[in-house]
Chain A
Amino acid sequence: MAKIYPIGGGKGGVGKSFITANLGALIAKWGKKVVIIDLDLGASNLHTLLGMQSPSIGLNSFLNKTIHDLESAAVSTSIPNLFLISSFHCYMEIANLFYAHKMKIIEAIKKLSFDYVFLDLGPGTNFNMLDFFLTSKEGILICTPEPTSIENSFRFIKTIYYRKLKHMIKKHIFNSLQKNFYEDAVKPGMKPSDIIEIALKHDPEKEPLLRSQLSKFRFKFIFNQFRNNLDATLGNQFETICNRHFYSIFEFLGYVNFDERIQDAIFSKTLYVHRYPHTQSSADLKNIAAKIT
């Protein structure tokens, strides 16, 4: 079965697509069959990062039933073993995906026969994004070492918990004739454990179920755009904080150093790890790729 890594993070512009493309390329180069699915719906541009024209086959072909399995929507890239499922040609309002379409995509993703499946998700915390992230128990969060980005990461984790809780309420009988209760109870600015604690208070007998479900998540995270003048213990401290104060297991995968040439690579539409294979940032990406394979 494929290992599925959704790649998310609350904020836009932190480098989710950049990291997805480069990790995918590195792992493909090591002989694994990798597919990247561009799920930044409505703002898809992963093909550009991979130095390709927008492929005519993609998610759209799967949704409009031109092709019948998602596997055939994967097009090869210039890198052997690396495939892309693009959402570029999807209908203009794809960002507001129909529920049935979303479920169809999620079910199909789980059946893909690749070694690794990367889901490049959009920013923010809309339902589609969260549900794609929940496709796997091992999501990767990307953030930058700025307070705003870190704050958004916490909010992202919180929203994931909340979404998971809602899924569970649908599936299991919570003390919830008042399903809306949780919605009303949740205030912005709450930390993830608050939401869980509200649930525990009202459905104490569900505590083991809730804890066991949440503890199955293994969040991984990467600090992108790291600069050498920053506190090098940040990543490990973030890991400590999350493990102590949230309900899942968190693993710090590493920093990706800031490098101006990343911009160059994007402008020239070439893959960074190919163009600059011997920089600090490429070494960082390789270390991270090795950790998740």
Chain B
Amino acid sequence: MPLPTGEVIGILGDNLRLRKSVLPLPTKVATKWTEGLGLPRGGQTVVYTGLMYQLIPYIEGLVKAQIKMGDSWMARYTGLGRRVNRMVNVSSFMARPSAEERARYDQVPINVVHLLRKAGVEFGALYEDDLYSGALAYDLGLDEVVAEHAKRVHAVFKKYGVKTVITIDPHTTTMLRSVYPKILKGYDVEVRSYLEVLAEKGAGANGAKAAGTGAEVVLHDSCVFARYEGVVDEPRELLAAAGVAVRDPQNTGRQTWCCGGPVESLYPIKAAANAANRVAELRAAGTECVTMCPMCYVNLSNAAGSTMRFKDISEYLREAYAS
């Protein structure tokens, strides 16, 4: 049985309001990916994670705990858990991913940094000021909480004089590019996904030549990239230029089939069932799949188990251009 919907939404909203993220991460964990990259702090152009990739292993731990709790006597005490969580960050005790799991997700922003550099883009990072965008809370209808949080993110951009933000995942992209202009006054930050930046510059800019990975992959489009932000051609162009043969599954491009991730925080069983349906479509087209969203990656790979192999698009691109 799922946990009470209102209480779960309440906990996520309280966390965003009090701790700047639906699932607060220690600063050391959130910024671990920046180590050794020598990224300047701030600047007019910054690469921005919105914590999405860093959050996934923690969300996974939390969802597993939720499923266990939903089937136990503890479900009745979710309301009490919410009250305690206002004082003590309870969620941090429920999810403790290993260093290895965290490193797997940190690798994506690291890949993006190498790819952007190879393409001749100059940019900085915001380190501990790289805040969560509020994506999940917005989807859940917590508009007032998100409006206040968006002001914090905007204040960070103003503090560092940021004019252009290069995002990595689709959810942060749509929040910063399509939602913030509707809810913030005077917000004039240019927001572009790194896939758009690389496609425009040519991933092989600055004389970089694709190593030709020889891979053959099934491409799973993210709903948010494809239908909210119109990012459909860019990943295909980049993969083709990298020598990766792309196969489209049934339901692709703007007609892509959702991975189920958006309902995982409330109804993990429904999310898993939807992911299993999508995996069946992907598997009919091949055994290796490329994703471009951390939620798609984790939901689909969990549903597929050992029957398919999933990799983030940044891995193929880095292998071809910046390894």
Same complex: no
